[in-house]
């Protein structure tokens, strides 16, 4: 067996050895795990993973390479990736680069050869924690000192949000939508385009006046990284625009809507990350298999008296997965109806949004 080249050191002192790929550098991130069997390209390019080291529980990663059409952002900000087995010889007619090449291009470190099952159990039992990826020769005491001194960054949305507005248009559009970019995934825009929406993507700190200057039919609040309580500009935006425009929140957008209405959020022990989370629609009674990626959730008990109604619930742990204020034409989902990757059970929500915009236009 060839000698290990890298290792990861957890905040609890555990060490795991493996082989480096991607950027050859040291990094400290928050460690999380994702249970998806496919979709590593969408995961590594999802801005919601900013400063997170993602453990992929599926054992084989890299086998179908990277396709130009499948990125969820132009500049990935994931902290790194930990995998059991990495395949650097993809078999896929669509691939243009390997995962290793993309990680090198964007200065993202990764490690393979790690016992990801044991690592996932630690995260599940102890919760997310800081992790250091470093050279195999780094002394454990030095690694723990670095972990202890490192302060995880906050307000990540300001780093991943666009700095200038941009548009995604379709022929013969029916609706004009403004999407507030907290770290938006491209597939949200693709699905809005698919249901006839011209989309203007605007920075997270845009003002009401700047947004209303486009005379939008509706507002979308996107996913994004970090603590939703840090994203005060968007919370204030919702407070000012609720009841004036239909609003559709996704992931962090769901949390920001809930905070704007007076509910509370909390950080989960290890979050939800995967493509097979069962969610019950309390309105229809139907079950949806959903794609998820979040560290924070809305406190169900705090919804009382806010004007928001709980519409969806996670069947694994009972956490809030959807809320709505029908009177204000506002609704949101904690999970990702745009998937990418994942099941498409919830794509109907984009048509629901267009229906609400149509009702608003005709009111």
Residues 140 and 223: their CA atoms lie apart, in Å, by 36
Note if 338 is an active site residue: yes
Note if 42 is an active site residue: no
Extract the tokens encoding 91: 């078999």
Given 182, 197, 251, 325, the catalytic residue: 251
Extract the tokens encoding 269: 């022990």
Query: Which positions make up the binding site for L-glutamine?
Result: 48, 224, 226, 252, 255, 293, 296
Note if 215 is an active site residue: no
Q: Which distant-in-sequence residues (6+ apart) come within 8 Å of 55 by Cβ? A: 31, 32, 33, 34, 81, 82, 83, 114, 116, 119, 120, 123
The torsion region of residue 110 among left (phi > 0), alpha (psi -120 to 50) and beta comes to beta
* Helices of type H across the chain: 40-44, 99-105, 116-126, 140-149, 157-160, 186-194, 208-212, 232-241, 252-260, 348-362
CA distances from 161 to 156, 223, 269 (A): 9, 10, 26
Contact 160, 50 (CB under 8 A): yes
Q: How many residues does the chain have?
A: 363
**What are the φ/ψ torsions at residue 22 (nearest 5 degrees)?**
75, -150
Residues 351 and 278: their CA atoms lie apart, in Å, by 21
The set of catalytic residues is 251, 336, 338
């Amino acid at each position: 067996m060839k000698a290990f080249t890298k290792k990861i050191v957890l905040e609890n002192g555990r060490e795991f050895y493996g082989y480096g790929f991607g950027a050859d550098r040291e990094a400290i991130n928050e460690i999380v795990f994702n249970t998806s069997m496919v979709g590593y390209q969408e995961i590594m390019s999802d801005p919601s993973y900013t400063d997170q080291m993602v453990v992929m529980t599926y054992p084989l990663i890299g086998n179908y390479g990277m396709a130009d059409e499948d990125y969820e952002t132009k500049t990935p900000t994931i902290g790194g990736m930990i995998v059991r087995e990495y395949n650097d010889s993809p078999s896929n007619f669509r691939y243009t680069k390997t995962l290793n090449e993309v990680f090198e291009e964007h200065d993202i470190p990764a490690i393979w050869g790690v016992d990801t099952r044991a690592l996932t159990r630690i995260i599940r039992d102890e919760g997310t924690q800081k992790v250091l990826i470093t050279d195999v020769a780094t002394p454990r005491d030095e690694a723990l000192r670095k972990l202890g001194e490192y302060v995880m960054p906050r307000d990540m949305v300001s780093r991943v949000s666009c700095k200038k507005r941009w548009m995604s248009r379709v022929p013969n559009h029916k609706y004009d939508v403004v999407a507030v970019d907290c770290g938006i995934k491209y597939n949200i825009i693709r699905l809005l385009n698919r249901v006839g929406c011209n989309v203007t993507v605007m920075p997270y700190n845009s003002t009401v006046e700047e947004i209303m200057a486009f005379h939008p039919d509706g507002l979308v609040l996107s996913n994004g990284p970090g603590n939703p309580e840090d994203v005060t500009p968007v919370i204030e935006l919702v407070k000012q625009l609720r009841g004036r425009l239909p609003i559709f929140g996704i992931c962090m957008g769901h949390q920001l809507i809930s905070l704007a209405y007076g509910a509370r959020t909390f950080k989960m022990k290890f979050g939800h990350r995967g493509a097979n989370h069962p969610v019950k629609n309390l309105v229809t009674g139907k079950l949806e298999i959903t794609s998820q990626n979040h560290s924070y959730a809305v406190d169900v008990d705090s919804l009382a008296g806010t004007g928001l109604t709980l519409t969806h619930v996670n069947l694994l742990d009972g956490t809030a997965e959807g809320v709505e204020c029908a009177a204000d034409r506002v609704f949101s989902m904690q999970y990702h109806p745009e998937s990418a990757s994942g099941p498409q059970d919830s794509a109907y929500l984009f048509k629901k949004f267009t229906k609400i915009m149509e009702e608003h236009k005709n009111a």
